[in-house]
Amino acid sequence: MAATHQFDVNKLFSMAGRKAVVTGGGTGIGLMAAQAIAANGGKVYITGRRKEVLDNAVKSHHPNQQGGEIIALGPCDVTKKDDLQKLVEELQKKEKYIDLLVCNAGVAGSKASPDQDDASDLKQRLWENESVEEWNSTYSTDVTSVYFTTVAFLPLLQAGIEPHGPLNRFGASVITISSMSGMMTDAQGHFSYNAAKAATVHLTKLMSAEFQRTWIRVNSIAPGYFPSEMTDKNKSSDDNQKSEFPQEKIENTGHVPAMRPGREEEMGMTVLYLARNEYVNGQILAVDGGVLNVVGGR
């Protein structure tokens, strides 16, 4: 039976003594996840394709309390198995196990708005503005890499179960970053991206069901509109590796009940919840400001 003091937020969501890896951790949602973990005492390793971005993220956002730490691992292209294996081997030299893997790396893909009423015009718009190569690249980064990244880290994740004792067998987990776009029937002009994120949603459920025999949980966060290089009007980050989401862009969509983009702290709350709640497995948690209440979802 839990005494009242055990409901202290610092105990419920503490990451003290826990170790995590975040792909695409130098910017956007990946950096938000890394900050949340480190600010609550965790040691978090971030990786991505750009070394200078990773190094700057560490320099700009190193936690100054709670004993947490953000560390940059060598650059890694998660679409390449050799890079993933090298990443695992690099981490094995530093740690015997990890408790959490956040598969965040992703791309937006091509865009072609299906706003033509005439079928011939519609074909021309979609045919000329998208390519098979772009579709394959989007799927490779947003889906295939999530699978192989998770598989690559399974042994390190399972090795993290024993240190926390038999009552915490589901303490090790994976959080995939999908999207509300993978749960709606509005293409938003992003057929390849929305289709890929829908695949990520289902992949999460498949991995959760199949990998639970290893005592590793798999859940997904399906973000709505959050600031990142993908959503920033300049497609970039500032000197602190942070991006903006213009308020006017939210207003122009006409389908965000919250009438604002998501706050970075709200993403951090979600990461901590899924990381620490060992009774949650195979769930897709939309953090979208109510968008799926307005736009057709599934």
Would you name the residues annotated as active-site residues? 178, 193, 197
Residue pair 192/135 in contact by the 8 Å Cβ criterion = yes
Contacts 24+ apart (CB under 8 A), 35-38: 35/61, 35/63, 35/70, 35/264, 35/268, 36/267, 36/268, 36/269, 36/271, 36/272, 37/68, 37/100, 37/271, 37/272, 37/275, 38/62, 38/63, 38/66, 38/68, 38/69, 38/70
Which residues, 6 or more positions from 41, have their beta carbon under 8 angstroms from its beta carbon? 14, 15, 16, 17, 18, 66, 67, 68
